[in-house]
Amino acid sequence: MVQGVSEIAAMCVGLVGLIGVAATTGMPMWKVTAFIEENIIVMETRWEGLWMNCYRQANIRMQCKVYDSLLFLPPELQAARGLMCCSLALSGIGLVVALAGMRCMSCFRGNQHAKTVILMVAGGMQFTACICVFIPVSWTGHVIIRDFYNPLLIDAQRRELGEALYIGWVTGAFLFASALLFLCRRMPADKGSFDVYNPPNLLSYRPTQGKPTLMSVLSPPYGVKCNDQGKYNCL
């Protein structure tokens, strides 16, 4: 009962993490324009993401433009593209694999050892997806904070932490919790069997009372014995 509840909880938490990874990957709010001076009138706001940068002016709709070249991006955003895509794929495949190991599914029914191994594999994939989220988000946050306090940069070149970074950190926590729920389980002692057909034990066969057996049918009748030529002779 407890393991069944933990499996459902792990699936729900992992699904929330998968949605968070997709949102973090697609959002352009990784780097936001920093307003440092005393002027509180904001005329233009700029966001920089993994796939596009967006501008928004006062009383004007947001306008976004996809990056023309991958090499134009800074190194942390180039690495973040690959890692976030890997995290999205690992999290999605991990949840699909975990479906086969749940108790409510008919796959490998009666073989708890195989189901436990499948769930642990899914937990490992969720943990790897968690690492693939934390690395680019933390790296990008470190670069933003470092450049913010760099005296060689002007105020227009400084950026602040965007909303996508905070969502990424929360998403990594959800994926880590899902991985723990999948991995923290006891391995059953009985490994079970993958055989679809189990042949009966012929050595334990016992004849039914009152029915002739094969040996009694083939044996000669009472009072008759076989000679050397295999023919029946009377006693």
57, pLDDT greater than 90: no
- Confidence at 132, pLDDT banded by 50, 70, 90: very high
Per the prediction, the chain carries an average pLDDT of 77
- For residue 66, the cross-strand partners are 52
- Confidence at 22, pLDDT banded by 50, 70, 90: very high
**Are 118 and 183 contacting, i.e. CB atoms less than 8 angstroms apart?**
no
pLDDT of residue 102: 75
Which position has the token pair 């690395």? Answer: 135
Which of residues 122 and 211 earns the better pLDDT score? 122
CA distance linking residue 114 with residue 109, whole number of Å: 9
In 3D, which of 184, 129, 163, 175 has the Cα closest to residue 26? 163
- For residue range 136-188, list pLDDT tens digits in order: 999 999 999 998 888 887 777 788 888 899 999 999 999 999 999 888 866 65
- For residue range 86-112, list pLDDT tens digits in order: 999 999 999 998 888 777 666 656 667
User: What is the arithmetic mean of pLDDT over 187-216?
Assistant: 50
Which of residues 214 and 74 earns the better pLDDT score? 74
203, pLDDT greater than 60: no
pLDDT of residue 235: 46
The letter for the amino acid at 17 is G
CA distance linking residue 173 with residue 167, whole number of Å: 10
- The two structure tokens encoding residue 170: 């929360």
The CATH number for 2-183, chosen from 3.30.420.40, 1.20.1630.10, 1.10.1380.10, 1.20.140.150, is 1.20.140.150
231, pLDDT greater than 60: no
| pTM of the predicted structure, to 2 decimals | 0.71
Burial 219-228 (b: 16+ CB within 10 A, else e): eeeeeeeeee
CA distance linking residue 92 with residue 126, whole number of Å: 9
Alpha-carbon separation of residue 184 from 14, 113, 120 (angstroms): 15, 14, 8
- The two structure tokens encoding residue 41: 């009138």
CA distance linking residue 194 with residue 111, whole number of Å: 8
User: What is the arithmetic mean of pLDDT over 179-202?
Assistant: 60
**Are 113 and 13 contacting, i.e. CB atoms less than 8 angstroms apart?**
no
Q: What is the DSSP string of 92-118?
A: HHHHHHHHHHSTTS-TTTT-HHHHHHH
32, pLDDT greater than 50: yes
